[in-house]
Amino acid sequence: MNPDPAAILAAAPNAPGFFDGFKSRVIALPHGGHAFARIGGSGPPLLLLHGYPQTSAMWHRIAPALARDHTVICPDLRGYGASWKPEVTPDHAAMSKRAMADDLLAMMDALGHDSFAIGAHDRGARVAHRLAADHPARVMRLATLDIAPTREMYAEGGPGFAAAYWHWFWLIQPAPLPERLIGADPDWYWCRKCCSGSAGAAPFARPALEEYLTAFRNPAMISASCEDYRAAWTIDIAHDDAETGPIKTPLLALWGKDGAIDAHFDALALWRRRASDVTGQAIPGGHYLAEETPEVVLDHWRDFFG
């Protein structure tokens, strides 16, 4: 695939009602960083976490519907979008899922939410997994989209998985190899990575796509996102190995029938190694389920979150 980013953007559909009723906030964090979040609705708090290489804009087809019954908080993860970008550390700890989760806890503290549910996609779901493992009293329910646990995917993914998820193995290469190559044409890379799945560019509405591309042109986000993957390969697995038991938070795992998770893993079996209360299934769509098949996701999430 040789994408034409300008053509993809020109063909992207508009998104009427893009985050209608939501307000944007920048929340100061205790260590001096900040978290950007879109917040709307009322009721029990529900935290929605985006994936790579996206921002909180990915929830624009999901969040307004959930906000009818919940206070919905959609942050940009540490290192991504409009949130702060930490300095790179040799051990990659600044972009570990534990550090990313700690930012979210501080943000939820600042917003006055002692406990909350989480719906999360891709990298955000890996952050949510760590948050539930480290702080089980804070996370009431956890719903993941199109992932299996990181450690198990690295350990058990075969050559077919490696070919489909080539970026997992490329982004962990020492800096500045991926950073320099991505930075030479970040729009092309973004479209090559995200528009080559089963749905092509169809999941991405123009306002969201414009935000993704703009955010990803920032060299600091490129660097932080590479560090996210380097952490997953190293310190995150060390944190996984140090766990003393499965998480007890009820967990709903959904994944796309047309994606790599369904093709290469038994997602429920892998999740049941890491959590004691797991339900889930494959649903129609590829990787970007919240944007490709939002009504299907909403049907499952409304039942799960109540």
The span from the first CA to the last CA of the chain, in angstroms, equals: 41
Structure tokens at 87: 């300095």
Q: Are strands 34-41 and 23-28 parallel, antiparallel or unpaired?
A: antiparallel
65-74 as b/e, with b when 16 or more CB fall inside 10 Å? bbbeebbbbb
Q: How far apart are alpha carbons 211 and 82 in whole angstroms?
A: 10
CA 39 to chain centre: 17
Judge contact between 123 and 77, C-beta under 8 A: yes
Q: Is residue 19 left, alpha or beta, with left meaning phi > 0 and alpha meaning psi from -120 to 50?
A: left
Q: Which residues are catalytic?
A: 122, 287
Cis link prior to 90 (omega < 30° from 0)?
Answer: no
